[in-house]
Amino acid sequence: MQDKIKRCGKVLGVNGNMVAVQFTDKVIQNEVAYVVMGDERLKSEVIRVKGSRCDLQVFEDTIGIRIGDKVEFSGELLSVELGPGLLGQVYDGLQNPLSRLAEQHGFFLKRGSYLEALDKEQTWEFTPEVKVGDKLRAGQQVGSVPEKVFKHKIMVPFDLKGTLEVVSIKDKGEYKIHDQMAVLKDEIDKEHVLTMVQNWPVKEPIKAYAEKCKPTEPLISKIRIIDTFVPVAIGGTFCTPGPFGAGKTVLQHLLSRHAEVDIVVVAACGERAGEVVEILEEFPELIDPRTGKSLMERTIIICNTSSMPVAARESSVYTAVTLAEYYRQMGLNVLLLADSTSRWAQAMREMSGRLEEIPGEEAFPAYLESRIASFYERAGLVKLRDGSMGSVTIGGAVSPAGGNFEEPVTQATLKVVGAFHGLSRDRANARKYPAIDPLDSWSKYKSFIDADKVALSISALKRSQDVDQMMKVVGEEGTSIDDFVDYLKGDFFDDVYLQQNAFDKTDEATASERQKYVFDIISEIMDQDFSFDDKDSARKFFQELRQIFINWNSCGFDTDEFKKQEEEIKNKIANA
């Protein structure tokens, strides 16, 4: 590889973040190129080739580029560095560590400044897990280093083919990431040197596993409406479309805090910088109950906020999913939250417009659907080559234009996901959190709560909504007391179970045992026949019951207070 001459080109035109380049020798589609402006080198990607002219999307502001400026082609696809030290980091869409950038350049992001994603000076305690002569395949581990609370596996590079034999392996000890850790010999006796780091092109899924399995086990989100009604499976996919102000981001933040997974990758893609800052300030302080360590230790943030260059926004979701896949290869359960995939789609639209491609619906490119589908398809539960299981679960927020779910991005997403959590503006306006519509949303996965009981409560909710609709026409006085009680029941169920108080330490997250326990009690109430003298006394009863329930919801599970409130609920019902 040493003898390769740098291939160069010349800028022919600039239009927004698209630069047309004249080249002489050859170019590779999607390879990384740099536009050289004096001492600034602007990273870009080849996205179209026509004759001796190719178009680049530049990942930076293009101000100041001149016709004739030099362009250097790297010969490599857009890649990320994978190795120990990723956890707890905050990267931009191109995997530049933002805190180190801040140390070098202060308040503002300096154009053309790229830093290595991983700290090359830090040492890690390596423990070999194989011996000379062992036969391995891509993705299998040769050793491990401790990273935060995890055992970070050092694996055979995912792109090596066939069976490889261990020629040498380092002893237990402290090493830096670029030290030579092992040498492997492939089937044609070619030797490969292993370090702790490998590079992987972000747009390629990592496929170094034995098989992809069907996601069945529920992923506990601790959000009642999700876990009970529209559950997500480990290794599954879900989307959260909603108009602005419906609480997409709050929901994603709570998921990132409470979901029972090993690692969370947050891709803040084209959204507000302030929201990322909240995570950055909150997470180091919050304790993960599963590990007893700070939440930041299990989190990676990829942040390409809305004012950062658009092309890097497109790559940020791929960077995020690649990091998620990497940790999946270690047999961990990873949750990737992308907020918002619509911004990513818009980035594609902007570029497509500049390329003057024939537009599809709402000017989105024709390949929108296939890009969205292939992104969600990178989720999955896989059986690794050592027999253990790992998973990537993907949840994408969608920001439909005008809150209208008929638009292309929402529709393309709904085709490929396993669960749909539709947020409703009405519920959000009525300050109902989470604003997931329990009747419109759906999930193809199984809940840990008995399906029959769930079905019953859904029909009760429907019934309640029907009565509510009817009352709008015939009025309360035209409604029979039985119908009215059905309406109240549904309303009560919504208030005390489907809604959660995001500001209450206890109520914001409900563990699975508690969900089961509480759901059983509520199911009983929903099934029970109550007889009231008139509507006012019925309303009063449910209002009071709701009050006790809300107090109950903020008591710790199985505490004395919890039992006391439960007793009160039982009394209340017995005396009805």
Partner 1 sequence: MQKIYSQIIQIAGDVITVEAEGISYKELAEVKTSRGIALAQVIRLDGNKVYLQVLSGSRGIATNDKVRFLKHPVQVSFSDNLLGRVFTGSGDSRDNGPALRDNMIDIGGPSVNPTKRIVPKNMIRTGIPMIDIFNSLVESQKLPIFSVAGEPYNPLLARIAMQAEVDMIVLGGMGLKHDDYLFFKDTLEEHGALSKSILFVHTASDPTVECLLVPDMCLAVAEQFALQGKKVLVLLTDMTNFCDSLKEIAITMEQIPSNRGYPGDLYSQLASRYEKAVDFSDAGSITVLAVTTMPGDDVTHPVPDNTGYITEGQFYLRDGHIEPFGSLSRLKQQVNGDTRSDHRTIMDRMIQLFADYRETKEKQSMGFQMSSWDKKLLDYGKRFETDLMDLSVNIPLEQALDLGWKILSDIFEPTEIGIKESLAKEYWPKQAA
Shortest Cβ distance from residue 476 to partner 1 (Å)? 6
Shortest Cβ distance from residue 366 to partner 1 (Å)? 13
| Six-digit token string for 553 | 């919801």
Please give the Cα distance from 297 to 386 (Å, whole number).
Answer: 26
Provide the 3-class DSSP secondary structure of residue 234.
coil
Shortest Cβ distance from residue 223 to partner 1 (Å)? 18
Please give the Cα distance from 523 to 545 (Å, whole number).
Answer: 14
Shortest Cβ distance from residue 159 to partner 1 (Å)? 32
Reported as type and span, the H/E element at residue 7 is strand 7-15
Place of tokens 């007391």: 481
| Six-digit token string for 371 | 């890009």
DSSP assigned state of 251? H
Shortest Cβ distance from residue 142 to partner 1 (Å)? 34
Instruction: Name which of 180 and 559 has its Cβ closer to partner 1.
Output: 559
Instruction: Name which of 99 and 374 has its Cβ closer to partner 1.
Output: 99
Please give the Cα distance from 296 to 454 (Å, whole number).
Answer: 35
Reported as type and span, the H/E element at residue 537 is helix 535-553
Instruction: Name which of 3 and 281 has its Cβ closer to partner 1.
Output: 281
Instruction: Name which of 325 and 339 has its Cβ closer to partner 1.
Output: 339
| Six-digit token string for 155 | 């694996």
Instruction: Name which of 61 and 204 has its Cβ closer to partner 1.
Output: 61
Shortest Cβ distance from residue 533 to partner 1 (Å)? 14
Shortest Cβ distance from residue 242 to partner 1 (Å)? 11
| Six-digit token string for 550 | 């809300």
Place of tokens 């090993």: 262
The b/e string for 334-350 (b: 16+ C-beta within 10 A; e otherwise) is bbbbbbbbbbbbbbbbb
Instruction: Name which of 456 and 555 has its Cβ closer to partner 1.
Output: 555
What residues contact residue 354 under an 8 Å CB cut-off, 6+ apart? 15, 16, 17, 18
Instruction: Name which of 42 and 392 has its Cβ closer to partner 1.
Output: 42
Provide the 3-class DSSP secondary structure of residue 262.
coil
Instruction: Name which of 196 and 368 has its Cβ closer to partner 1.
Output: 368
Shortest Cβ distance from residue 343 to partner 1 (Å)? 7
DSSP assigned state of 406? T
Please give the Cα distance from 112 to 537 (Å, whole number).
Answer: 70
